[in-house]
Amino acid sequence: MNRMNIRYFITCICVLIGLFATAQTAEQGVLDLRNVDFSEESVPLDGEWQFFWGQLLEPGDEVSTPIDYFEFPELWNDATTRQGVKLENFGVASYRLQVLLPESSPELALTFKHLYSAGRLFVNGKEVPFCGQTGNTPSTSKPRWVPGVIELHDEVDTLNLLLQISNFQHYKGGARESIVLGAEERIDALEKETLAYDLLLAGTLIMAGLFFYGLYLFGLREKAAIFFSLFCLTFAYRMVGADDYSLQIIYPNMPWGLSMKLEYLSLFLPPAFFAMYTHYLYPFRYRFNPFYIFASLSCVFALITVVSHPLVFTRIVDAYLFLLLAGISLGGYTYFRAYQLKLGGSQYALISSLVVLVVFCYKIIIYLGAATEIEIITFIGFLGFFFFQSLILFFLFTDSLKRSKEQAEHAAKMKSDFLSMMSHEIRTPMNAVIGLSNYLLEDSPRKSQVETLNTLKFSAKNLLVIINDILDFSKIEAEKIEFEYTPVLLQGLMASLKKVFEPIAEEKNLKLVFDCDNRIPQVIRCDQTRTSQVLTNLISNAIKFTEKGVVKVKVELVAGGLHQVRLKFSVIDTGIGIPQDRQESIFQSFTQATSSTTRQFGGTGLGLTITKKLLNLQGVELKLDSEPGKGSVFSFIQAFEVVRDSMPAYSDAPQTINSYQLPVEVLLVEDNAVNIMVAEKFLKRWGAKVVVAKNGQEAIDAVGNSAFDVILMDLQMPIMDGYEAVRKIRQRGVSIPIIALTASALMEEQRKIFDAGMDAFVTKPFEPEELYQKMAQFCR
C-alpha cells in the first residue's frame, strides 16, 4: 500500500470518527462564505483553487491558457490536476481563490503555519508577509517558515487571493497546511493560546530534563536517568521548533536551513535517547539487542541530517516514521514484559507506553495531513506521558537506595546541594513565565487575551505547586524541615483561608463553612506557614473529593490555660469517603484511595503525606474518620502558646500596587537575561531608574561609582556570588538596603541571606505586590 493510499485510508477513518462532520470548501476557485458567522467560527480556505502549473502570476496578469484546478492544501508529489497535468516535487505554480464574504462581519484575519516551500501571497492585489520569496530557480527561491497572522482591515465583500509557490529545497512540494480565515480577535487569541501551550510544555520538558540530570549528577549515576534527561531536553525543541514553529515566531530571522536541520534532528535523536533509557530501565538480555539497533539507525538518520542538504533528509523522513512505529512497539513490548515480571514502576511504564503510542499515532496522522491538530490533546498526552515516566524513575531510584545502604548515605549527603540547585534551576524559568503573565495582565489586555493569560498563569502556578510539594517532600525525608514560631492572629489566618477557598467551593456549588470557637485566645504562637500549609492541603482535598454538600472547617478549644491552649482542628466533608482498608495507604507517597480516584480527580498524592509528616514532626497526630459515600473527617489536636503582650498586624484587605510611586534608583544584580527583562519591566513601570550588574564584582564597582536607594541582589552568579558581594559591600560601610532575589526556598539559604548582611528577601517567582512592598518599606 503506497503512501497516498495510506493517507486516504486514514482520512476515511477520521471522517467516520468525526461523525460525518462537514466543512465548506472551495469549488472551481470560489469559496462562498456569505452565510458564515465569523464571530462563532473560523474557516480553512480549503478546496479547489484555480491552478497554474509552471507560472508565477502577478496581480492583474492575464491568463491565456485554460484554467485548471487543484486541491489546496495538497502536495504536488505524485499528484494530478483536474485536467490531468502530472505534477512534480520541484517547480513553481500559482493558485487563485475568490472568497465571498458576508455583508457584515467582525474584523477578519488570515492565519497560516507554513508551506513546505517558498510562497508569496497577494490579498486583493496587495502583497502581505508570507513564507519567503518565490523564484523560478533554486537561487531565487528562498523559503521562510514563520507562522503569522494577516490582519484584513479593509471592509470588503470579496477576497481575491493569489498565492505563488516555488519549491527547489524540500522533497515535498506544495502546501500541507491550510490558510484559515476568521475573526481577528479569535485568531489572535488562538495563536497566543497555541504559543502558551508550546512554551509551557517545552519549559516543563526542560525543567524535567534538568531535574533528572540533577538526579544523575548528584544521585546514583543511573544511566536510565541521563538518557531520559537527554530525551526531555532534545524533545523540548520539537515542542517549539516544529509543528507550530513557536520558536520561529520568537526568532523570525533564524536561517531556514538551520531551522530545518534542528527540526529533523529533534525527530531522529529523542527516540534514540528514549530507546537507550528503556533498555537501561529494564535491561533484558538479547542475542542482538534491538534497542542498540534502533538507536544506531536513528543516529544514522541524524548524521545524514547534519551533513546533507534538506533535499536529502526530507526524503527519508517517511521511512523513519515506520521505524519509529517499530521502536514504539518494541518499547511497549518491553514494558509489558516488565509488568509481567512485576518490576518496579512497570505499571506506570505500561500506561505511559500506551499514551505515547496514541500520541505518536495522532501526530503521524497530522503529519500525513489527514487531521488538524487540537493543541490540548497533544499537551495532555505528552504531560501524562512524562508524568508517568517520572514516576518510573522515582521507583528506579527508590529501589537503588534500598539495594545499598552505602549508596543511600551518599545520596542523603548530596541531597541538600541537589535541592538548592534544582530549586534555583526550576524557579528561574518559572519566574519568567509567571512574571511576564502578571505584567501582561496589568498591561490592559483585550478580554480575549485575559483568559489565555490567566490560563497560562494558572497552569504555571499549578506546576509550581507540584514542584514545591516534591521539594517539601524531599526536605521532610532528609529531615531538613525547620519550624519558625511567631505570634499569629488565628482569626486572621482563618479569614485568609476562607477568602482563598470560597471561590473554589462556589465553582462546585459547595457550601464552605468556617466555625471558630470564640473562647480561643486571639493571638497564639505557631509556625504560620506550616499551619497554613497543613490546613490548605486538608481543605483543598475536601473540596476536590466533594461533589455536593458541605465542607466545614472547625476549630475547637479542647483545653485552655493562662499560658497554653490545646486546639482541635477538623476538616469535615460530605464527599466520596475512603474505604477502611485504604485509610492507611492514602498517607503514603503518591497514593490515593483507588486508581479510579487518581484518574477522576488527578493530583500527585503527596499532599496528605506532607501534611501528616509536618504534624508528626511537631508531635501531632493526624486522624481520619471516613465512610464511603458519606464523607470524611480529618482532625488533629495541637498545643499552642498563648501570646498576651503582642498583637500581630493583620489586614484582610487585598494589597494593591500604586504604580509610579517609587521614583528611586535601583541596582539590579542579576546574570540571567530573562530575569533582568522581567524585573526591569516592573521596576520601570513603578517609575524606578534601573542600573544592571551581571555579577557580584560588577555590583561592588557600581556601588562605588553611584548612590543607590536599594539593591536587588541575585545569589547564584558567575565570578562572584551574591553572598560574597554583600559581605564586601557591608565591609566598606555601605548601608544601602539590600533585598535578595532568590530562587531558593530552603530555610538554610534564607538564614545565610541575613548572615551575609542583607535586609530582606523575595523568592522567585516573585509576586509584584511583594517586591513592591519590600522596596517601599526600605526606600521610605
Map out the domains of the chain as residue ranges: 25-178, 221-403, 486-642, 665-779
133: phi then psi, degrees, rounded to nearest 5: -130, 125
CA dist., res. 51 & res. 95, Å (int): 5
Look at residue 8 in the predicted model and tell me its pLDDT: 40
Mapping DSSP to helix (H, G, I), strand (E, B) and coil, where does residue 653 land?
coil
| Nearest residue to 160 (alpha-carbon basis) of 24, 68, 45 | 45
Collapsed DSSP state (helix, strand, coil) of residue 677: helix
Q: What is the pLDDT of residue 11?
A: 42
Closest CA to 394 of 354, 453, 444, 352: 352
CATH architecture of 25-178: Sandwich (2.60)
Q: Please give the grid coordinates belonging to residue 334.
A: 518491553
CA contacts within 13 A on the Cβ side of 646: 11
* Alpha carbon distance 66, 76 (integer Å): 20
The Cα–Cα gap between 17 and 633 comes to 45
Which three three-digit cell numbers place residue 566? 490545646
Pairing mode of beta strands 158-167, 118-123: antiparallel
**Phi, psi angles (nearest 5°) of residue 399:** -65, -40
User: Across-strand partners of 92?
Assistant: 166
Stretch (H or E) spanning 765:
none
In angstroms, rounded to a whole number, what is the distance separating the alpha carbons of residues 277 and 273?
Answer: 6
What CATH code is assigned to 486-642? Answer: 3.30.565.10
Task: Give backbone dihedrals phi and psi of 45, rounded to 5 degrees, phi first.
Answer: -85, 65
Give CA–CA dist 714/700, Å, rounded: 13
Half-sphere exposure of 643 toward its Cβ, with a 13 Å CA cutoff? Answer: 15
Beta bridge partners of 488: 524
pLDDT for residue 17: 39
Q: Among candidates 160, 70, 68, which has minimal Cα distance to 110?
A: 160
Q: Is the Cβ–Cβ distance between 538 and 622 less than 8 Å?
A: no
Amino acid at 272: A
Q: Are 145 and 110 in contact (CB under 8 A)?
A: no
CA angle, corner 691, sides to 685 and 693, nearest 5?
130
pLDDT averaged per 10 residues, the chain (length 780):
42 39 76 89 91 91 85 89 91 94 88 86 90 90 86 85 92 88 87 83 84 76 84 87 81 86 91 89 85 93 92 88 86 84 76 71 63 68 73 68 60 60 68 77 76 72 68 67 83 84 86 89 86 87 87 90 89 86 69 46 64 87 87 91 68 46 87 86 88 91 86 88 91 90 70 87 82 83
Count of H-run helices and E-run strands, the chain: 21, 25
pLDDT value at position 653? 41
Architecture of domain 665-779: 3-Layer(aba) Sandwich (3.40)
pTM above 0.85, yes or no: no
776, exposed or middle or buried, with CB in 10 Å at 0-12, 13-18, 19+?
middle
| Residue-by-residue DSSP string for 364-398 | HHHHTTSS---HHHHHHHHHHHHHHHHHHHHHHHH
| Cell numbers found for residue 662 | 517609587
Alpha helices in 590-649, H assignment, sequence order: 595-601, 607-617
C-beta separation of 301 from 320 below 8 A? yes
Sign of CA dihedral 371, 376, 379, 384: negative
Residues 6+ positions from 285 with CB-CB distance below 8 Å: none
Give the closest residue to 240 by CA, choosing from 231, 251, 229: 251
Query: Cα separation of 780 and 777, whole Å?
Result: 6
Please check whether residue 4 is in contact with residue 140, taking contact to mean a CB–CB distance below 8 angstroms.
no
Instruction: With CA atoms as reference, report the closest residue to 124 among 79, 165, 157, 171.
Output: 157
Packing angle, helices 607-617 and 447-477, rounded to 10: 50
Phi, psi of 2 (to 5 degrees): -75, 175
Q: Round to whole Å and give the CA distance between 436 and 680.
A: 11
Q: At what angle do helices 223-241 and 375-403 cross, to 10 degrees?
A: 170
